[in-house]
Structure 1
Amino acid sequence: MRAFTNRTNRNRTTRKLALAGALAAAGLLLTACGTDDGMSGMDHGGMSASSSATASASAAPGADSAPGDFNDADVMFAQMMIPHHEQALEMAKLADGRAEDSEVKKLVTAIEQAQDPEIQKMKAWLKGWGKPESAGHGGHGMGGMMSDQDMKDLAATKGEAFDRKFAELMIAHHEGAVAMAKDEQQSGSNATAKKLADDVVRTQSAEVAQLKKILDRL
């Protein structure tokens, strides 16, 4: 009876040890899988977070930055559009105390609000690209630029005469800007610069149409 009891106890002990061993092995296997998955998950998660941060930085650059590749067309677009915009602002300043038509005055304000920030953006691009603000184009290729005499003639007018002359000169000026922007759309490679070119084509084409209507009623 005692021998039977001993054998029974030994059998129970053996079964317990076997069960414990099986559970331990299963635990190790699960831990290993969990470790692989966990590490893999952390690795993938880390890479995804890093990639997302990089993508977000690229997708939402600073207002004055132009990240990514650029080519000569992008550089020329900025170098030429800066003085072109600056002259538009000079023309707009002449409207103060000279313009009479309310629609002309509103258009002058719109030009100032749009083009001054764009000048600052393009200057920042060129600085970031390591390029000078001016490459000595001498006005070549900048359509619609006013001569010194044009500016003097505009400054010498007032009231309706100013409104008419301003509209005539600004139409030509805007059309020149649109032509340069279309060149950038076709030949540029920098996404930010091309986006600005899109904006120039859209806004200034609309303003040309508005200026023509103003001329028709003056």
Structure 2
Amino acid sequence: MPVRRTAALLLLLAVLTSCARDGERPPESRPVPSRTTDGAASSADPTDSAWVQLMIPMNQQALILLDLAAEKATVPRLRDWASRLQTSQNTELEALRGLRDRMGLPDTDLHKGHDMPGMVTAEDLEDARRAEGAAFDRLLVEQIRDHLRQSEQVSRSEVSAGSRAEARARARELVTARAAQLTALTALPTGKHTR
């Protein structure tokens, strides 16, 4: 099986498996009409659609946790890093929303309530709100590391398997950004913590 097709299947399988595990209806897997500047319709393939519709809620949830870090992180370098990451994630989110709109995809969270790898869940956020001091720092590092790793992985799949040039270019940028963000996190005093 070609590498591109294998990567596409892995990305879609990750999304569909998590939806099925949660007892939810999986996201639509057929091509979706996309708006273009000249009014003509093109189609977003299932890999492109799945990637965009996964990355948006992943970033949204991570941003809530990063917002808590501004108040609760106890290590100044960790707090500063989280603030820079928050700015970066906000910029990414706006770009992803624009891409979603240009692809003609709905403005809905198909993964709401799903416990997906790399997704900061409502339960994680409750734990973060309750945690104090070093416990909060550890939770922040663990959750954000998972988010960065998983979003890098699914973005690599999009680069390999997506068919829309704009989506693949955005995914390539995210892969590069995630590598730098993970390196910076590891360099922090608390960043070396592993589960």
Query: 1:78-136: per-residue Cα shift (whole Å, max 9, x none)?
Result: 11100000011001011122112122112212222111122122222222222213362
Structure 1 CA distance, aligned partners of 2:109 and 2:138? 34
Structure 2 CA distance, aligned partners of 1:110 and 1:152? 23
- Secondary structure of 1:198's counterpart equals helix
Structure 2 CA distance, aligned partners of 1:217 and 1:123? 33
Who is 1:130 aligned against? 104
Query: 1:38-74: per-residue Cα shift (whole Å, max 9, x none)?
Result: xxxxxxxxxxxxxxxxxxxxxxxxxxxxxx8742211
| Cα separation, partners in 2 of 1:141 and 1:192, compared to 1, 3 Å | farther
| Cα separation, partners in 2 of 1:97 and 1:137, compared to 1, 3 Å | closer
Who is 2:135 aligned against? 161
| Cα separation, partners in 2 of 1:97 and 1:138, compared to 1, 3 Å | closer
Answer with 1 or 2: which has the greater Rg. 1
1:147, CA displacement in angstroms?
2.8
Structure 2 CA distance, aligned partners of 1:118 and 1:102? 24
Give the helix-richer structure, 1 or 2. 1
Structure 2 CA distance, aligned partners of 1:121 and 1:207? 18
- Secondary structure of 1:96's counterpart equals helix
- Secondary structure of 2:71's counterpart equals coil
TM-score between both structures, scaled by the size of structure 1:
0.61
| Cα separation, partners in 2 of 1:81 and 1:199, compared to 1, 3 Å | same
Give the strand-richer structure, 1 or 2. 2
- Secondary structure of 1:130's counterpart equals coil
Deviation larger for 208-217 or 177-186 = 208-217
Gaps of 5+ in 1: 1-67
Gaps of 5+ in 2: 1-41
Q: How many aligned positions are there?
A: 152
- Of the three residues 62, 73, 89, the one matched with 1:99 is 73
The CA RMSD over aligned residues, in Å, is 2.6
Structure 2 CA distance, aligned partners of 1:135 and 1:171? 22
Is 1:116 paired with 2:90? Answer: yes
Who is 2:177 aligned against? 203
- Secondary structure of 1:75's counterpart equals helix
Deviation larger for 109-118 or 204-213 = 204-213
